[in-house]
A and B are shown apart, each in its own frame.
Chain A
Amino acid sequence: MPGPKLDRALVLHVAKLASLSLSEGEADRFAGELARIVAYVEQLDAVDTADVAPTAHVLLDRMPLRTDVLVPCLSHEDALSQAPQVEGGGFAVPTFVE
């Protein structure tokens, strides 16, 4: 397992991937805490997992597919009812294309 340097720069990179603006000080604090947690997680290195298949999910074999038919869903009004900003019958967001 690579020993990543979980420093401020890596935390800021990951925060960007997660769309999370961190305030000053948070990045340093998280870097220290996450470095400790990741060091603990690296004990998994000691486990021999050669020829072991990963488990993404338990019991997948017992989950039936539903039939592909339309069923009632939330009304347009209900779906918009909790939005912070609504415009023209849709969710309003800041401009993202010119």
Chain B
Amino acid sequence: MLDSSVISPAGPVGLGVTGIAASVRAGETSAESVTLAALEQIARYDGELNAFLEVPREGALAQARAIDARRARGEALGPLAGVPVAIKDAICVRGVVTTAASKILAGYEPPYDATVIERLRAADAVILGKTNMDEFAMGSSSENSAFGVTRNPWDRARTPGGSSSGSAAAVAARMAPCSLGSDTGGSIRQPACLTGTVGLKPTYGRVSRFGLIAFASSLDQIGPFATDVRGAARVLSVLAGHDPRDATSLAAPTEDFEAACGRSVRGLRVGVPEEYFAEGLDPEVGESVRGAIRELEAEGCVVTPVTMPHTRFAVATYYVLATAEASSNLARFDGVRYGLRSHDGDAARDLRAMYGKTRDAGFGAEVKRRILLGTFVLSAGYYDAYYRKAQKVRTLIRRDFERAFEGVDVICSPASPTPAFRLGEKVDDPLAMYLNDIYTLPASLAGVPAMSVPCAPTRAGLPVGLHIAARAMDEATMLAVASAWEARSPAASLVPPLVVPAKA
């Protein structure tokens, strides 16, 4: 039996996605022991971090034992054999409470699995638990969760980012080797950046959204977090593929994205948009990211400046379009088919009152703010001036990418303008919070794949992320660049100080 506590911090979880799967497939370790190790990490750290909302311990162990039994019978195991995966609470898991961190869905047990959950199960992964998030994925800090904040494992006074806060913190603290998040305007990449993990948003349409609680349907995309690039690539290979149950799912062939990891990047053209290194960027973050780009140059990449003149309009564009779509998507939470129903006052007798009071009681302040903004920009008299206008600017932002990709293969920038900020720092200023997403929003609006990979931390030891965007459907080139940087990155082997080697 492999004594993994000797070779990696955090015990078996520290082996990462590919290490765990190889070890379980070879019979060196059991799926059950890996799952137990992950559960121990959760018991050790999560009281303080609050990354998980639900940990169905017995269910996870039963899945692991079933995988071990299949191996014992001589059956071949899948690419995620025995790998525990933490799942953002916006993704439906049959029979496991799924709330999107909203009071309006408290206690909701989905009667079905999301497509991505079916795919993980088919690959022999273990569904470890549901992770905390900003309510309905609206936020960048976890402070909009109805169930308490998640803390950053690198500094517990700081945010892990958001909205996929718990999925990022779980991987950073080695409570899980990988997790699923969802990204509408940066909700995978920004928390990955702030927690020193790898986080990837696929091309829009690459991964099925069936079973994802919708925020903004033209932007939402599910993707992985992992401790390393190869792990994220392996999970993406499992998630990707056409799904007839999602009308926006692309009919694209599935790929082995892992094959791109370790591939030579010599001659690849890396675009650096000066608009992304402008006002508001923390100098230490800028220095760290430029350092990473210099290393890519040393690996043979050709670095060229590109211009993306509409970048500064991305935040305004996004907050019109995303809130408009959200106001429509969240109309389904009305106290009729699932979730909370208000019985307050005339709600018991009057349908309109029941809708209004249920939604008032169930939604948090940021969700209400966005529903109001979205309803406003779609309402008669304002539609053309705001919604239609933002859709046109979206076209210009897409063109910025199309033009840039005529001359370069990937675009590199910071993932977030600052390292993790303190919890409470921006909570009373919604606009300041929105501006935090400036570097991740454009790729979302353009529908192209993008990811964050850890680069040199700040002098205070806080993580920084290199953001890499690629052409639609070209995750492979993006992963090749990410993996080339990771091989040289001083951050690749760093774990938060609180993660001590597990006792055997």
Contacts and interface: CB of A to CB of B under 8 A. Distances in A.
Contacts of A83: 336-338
B348 interface: yes
A88 to B, nearest CB: 15
B111 A82 contact: yes
Contact of B335 (A56, A58, A84): A84
A59 B335 CA distance: 34
A18 B218 contact: no
Interface string A1-45: 110101000110011011111110010001001101110110111
Interface of A is mostly: loop
Nearest to B252: A62
A98 to B, nearest CB: 12
Interface stretch (B32-40, B315-323, B455-463): B315-323
Contacts of A70: none
A62 B372 contact: no
Contacts of A96: 350-352
Nearest to B372: A14
Contacts of B348: 94
A44 B111 contact: no
Interface string B236-253: 000000001001111110
Nearest to B330: A18
Residue among B315, B356, B398, B445 facing the most chain A CB atoms (10 A cut-off): B356
Given A21-B359, A40-B431, A34 B372 contact: yes
Interface residues of B, number: 76
B431 A18 contact: no
Contact of A55 (B250, B337, B379, B394): B394
Interface in B419-455: 430-431, 434, 445-447
B111 A94 contact: no
A45 B334 CA distance: 35
A41 B434 CA distance: 12
B388 interface: yes
A41 B320 contact: yes
Interface stretch (B19-27, B127-135, B339-347): B339-347
Interface size class of A (residues with CB under 8 A): 35 or more
B428 to A, nearest CB: 10
Given A14-B375, A40-B316, A58 B359 contact: no
B360 A20 contact: yes
Interface in B352-387: 352-357, 359-360, 363, 368-369, 371-373, 375-376, 379, 381-382, 385-386
B360 A21 contact: yes
A73 to B, nearest CB: 9
Interface of B is mostly: helix
Contacts of A87: none
Nearest to A11: B372
Interface string B92-126: 00000000000000001111100000000000000
A55 B391 contact: yes
B290 interface: no
Contacts of B349: 94-95
A82 B406 CA distance: 50
Contacts of A33: 369, 430
A43 B396 CA distance: 15
B360 A18 contact: no
B372 A15 contact: yes
A27 B386 CA distance: 21
A55 B388 CA distance: 9
Interface in B270-304: none
A78 to B, nearest CB: 4
B395 A52 contact: yes
Interface in B224-266: 244, 247-252
A34 to B, nearest CB: 6
B205 A59 contact: yes
Contact of B251 (A26, A41, A64): A64
A49 B313 contact: no
Contacts of A43: 313, 316
B389 interface: yes
B472 interface: yes
Given A21-B360, A52-B396, A53-B392, A37 B373 contact: yes
Contact of A47 (B252, B347, B396): B396
Contact of A79 (B111, B313, B354): B111
B368 A62 contact: no
A91 B336 contact: yes
B71 interface: no
A26 B339 CA distance: 23
Contact of B372 (A18, A54, A82): A18
A4 to B, nearest CB: 7
B72 interface: no
Nearest to A65: B247
Interface string A67-98: 00001001000110111110000010111100
Which 5 pairs of residues, A with B, have the shortest CB-CB distance? A58-B447, A54-B391, A21-B356, A84-B341, A78-B111
21 contacts: A14-B372, A14-B379, A18-B327, A18-B359, A19-B334, A20-B356, A20-B372, A30-B368, A33-B369, A34-B373, A38-B373, A38-B376, A58-B205, A59-B472, A63-B250, A63-B251, A66-B244, A84-B340, A93-B354, A94-B349, A96-B352
